[in-house]
Amino acid sequence: MKTLTLMLSITLVWSFSAFAGKKVAVVTMLRGQVEILTLGKTTALKEKDPIEDGAVIKTSEKSFVKLVFFDKSQMNIGPNSEMKIEKFSGDDSGVIDLVKGKIRSQVTKDYLQMGKDKSKLFIKTPNAVMGVRGTDFMISTNGINTSTVLFEGEIVFNKLEDRSEINTGNLENIVSNGVRMQPGEFSVMDASRPSPTEPALLNIKQIEKLEKNENFESDRNPSAAKDDTGKGTVVPGGLDGKAVSNNSETINQEVAKVAVIEGPKSASSSNADGFENGEKIKPANGSFVHIDSGVIIPPGPGSVLDPNTNTYIASPGAGSVNADGNYVPPKNVEITPDGKIFAVTAGADGKSVVKEIAAPSPVLARAVLGSPQQGTAVFSGRVGGPQFPPIPDANDRRTATGGLANVTESRQVDTKPTTTTTVIVTPNP
């Protein structure tokens, strides 16, 4: 019945738009406060409201809106977001401008019946542009950096110098020179870098949970999110994750007795390790992404390579994800939406203080991007740079009860400049 009502609403809206023109989408679900700015007038948005081409939609905290476009593409706009529909005319690729916040979108495969290598929709952010070639993805920006995760289909992603660009031919040229992402991969466009990170497979837990979180449940209701950090590692001291990993040969043989096993992952992420090659940076497969800020957290020393997925399983010190796929740093670390990292450390007087971890130097980033084993040496302080410090007053992080919330001292911020906000940070060794 619900589906029937929805279909009827959409049909009515399109019928209406045939007369009024430029109606491109309809609101099918809405939570909290959502405003629409159209023709210079701001009004509160309600379910079943039509959305015109050129409209600006703003969501408040803990709010969310789901739009269905005339081609049946869905777009879920998360809390604290602002998005403008610049163009969605029907005879050309659409252009969306995400000013801040995040979008989860499922674009229909047959939209405009375009060629395989042509983008069906462009989503611009303050520093990046994404060409959507179908179908299920998430994009997020804090107004400075942009991170994107692909669940299904293919997207192309690149830096955007001129945000006012609206010509789809020019946008196509820009994205076609960017990175091409496959399902399960993520990429981050750091405002201070010339190009986005090479696609890497996201942490297996994060991708699975993010994929389920279509409606930004935990962003609207953080208490519902379960923090499942704090487990032990399988890697004994002295070894690296590759040495102890099981090559999956046995399980594959056993599974093959009852089912057909699909082939390996895409070639672009075939190198599980991270690397830096000129201007190209590829994080290690299995890295986490702090979606709000674009901070990349490598799997870290003590992570184990899962040959089945060709990703590293993050070490406990690297943090974890909550029930809805958002990255949860270790208990003594906090990452703000603008990419600043604060950590509780032991002060000279033995009391806990909160310090900002300075953005890493290029040297550190280079080392971090190496294999987790290479990282081990770097993270232990030989090279220097920021790292997640050990939790104060606790020998064992698994039993530590300290956290940012328990610290009453004022924040002490390192005087080192933190010009790079999207950073690859090091987990606690």
* CA distance linking residue 303 with residue 305, whole number of Å: 7
Query: Which residues in the 202-231 window bind another protein by CB under 8 A?
Result: 204-205, 207-209, 228, 231
Q: Which residue in the set 62, 353, 374, 394 belongs to the binding site for another protein (CB under 8 A)?
A: 374
Number of Cβ within 10 Å of residue 70's Cβ equals 16
Closest CB to another protein among 98 and 313?
A: 313
Region of 23-31, 117-125, 167-175, 377-385 interacting with another protein (CB under 8 A): 377-385
CB of 71 to another protein, least distance (A): 27
Mask for 322-361, x = binds another protein (CB under 8 A): ----------------------------------------
* CA distance linking residue 155 with residue 170, whole number of Å: 16
Parallel/antiparallel/unpaired status of strands 23-31 and 50-52: antiparallel
For residue 115, with 0-12 CB atoms within 10 Å meaning exposed, 13-18 middle and 19 or more buried, which class applies?
exposed
Q: Which residue in the set 78, 316, 386, 427 belongs to the binding site for another protein (CB under 8 A)?
A: 316
Examine residue 382 and tell whether it contacts another protein (CB under 8 A): yes
Pick from 147, 98, 95, 84: nearest CA to 122: 95
CB of 227 to another protein, least distance (A): 14
Q: Supply the DSSP symbol for 338.
A: T
Residue 184 Cα distances to 59, 154, 216, 265, 316, angstroms: 27, 10, 18, 9, 21
CB of 128 to another protein, least distance (A): 25
Q: Which residue in the set 184, 274, 300, 339 belongs to the binding site for another protein (CB under 8 A)?
A: 184
Examine residue 367 and tell whether it contacts another protein (CB under 8 A): no
Q: Taking a C-beta distance cutoff of 8 angstroms, is the pair 122, 132 a contact?
A: yes
Helices (DSSP H) in 199-357: which residue ranges?
204-212, 217-220, 241-244, 249-256
Region of 16-24, 185-193, 369-377, 410-418 interacting with another protein (CB under 8 A): 369-377
Q: Which residue in the set 169, 236, 278, 417 belongs to the binding site for another protein (CB under 8 A)?
A: 236
Region of 7-15, 106-114, 200-208, 412-420 interacting with another protein (CB under 8 A): 200-208
Examine residue 384 and tell whether it contacts another protein (CB under 8 A): no
Region of 54-62, 171-179, 253-261, 271-279 interacting with another protein (CB under 8 A): 253-261
Pick from 164, 167, 166, 204: nearest CA to 185: 204
Closest CB to another protein among 69 and 379?
A: 379
* CA distance linking residue 264 with residue 218, whole number of Å: 32
CB of 371 to another protein, least distance (A): 8
Query: Which residues in the 287-306 window bind another protein by CB under 8 A?
Result: 306
CB of 279 to another protein, least distance (A): 13
- Residue 16 token pair: 């209406």
Q: Which residue in the set 246, 270, 406, 412 belongs to the binding site for another protein (CB under 8 A)?
A: 246
* CA distance linking residue 271 with residue 278, whole number of Å: 17
Residue 31 Cα distances to 215, 221, 305, angstroms: 10, 11, 40
Q: Taking a C-beta distance cutoff of 8 angstroms, is the pair 133, 118 a contact?
A: yes
* CA distance linking residue 387 with residue 330, whole number of Å: 12
The three-state secondary structure class of 304 is strand
Closest CB to another protein among 15 and 253?
A: 253
Examine residue 251 and tell whether it contacts another protein (CB under 8 A): yes
Q: Which residue in the set 29, 112, 244, 394 belongs to the binding site for another protein (CB under 8 A)?
A: 244
**Length, in residues, of the chain:** 429
Q: Which residues form the interface with another protein (CB under 8 A)?
A: 184, 201, 204-205, 207-209, 228, 231-234, 236-240, 242-244, 246, 250-251, 254-255, 258-263, 265, 306, 308-309, 311, 313-314, 316, 362, 371, 373-374, 376-377, 380, 382
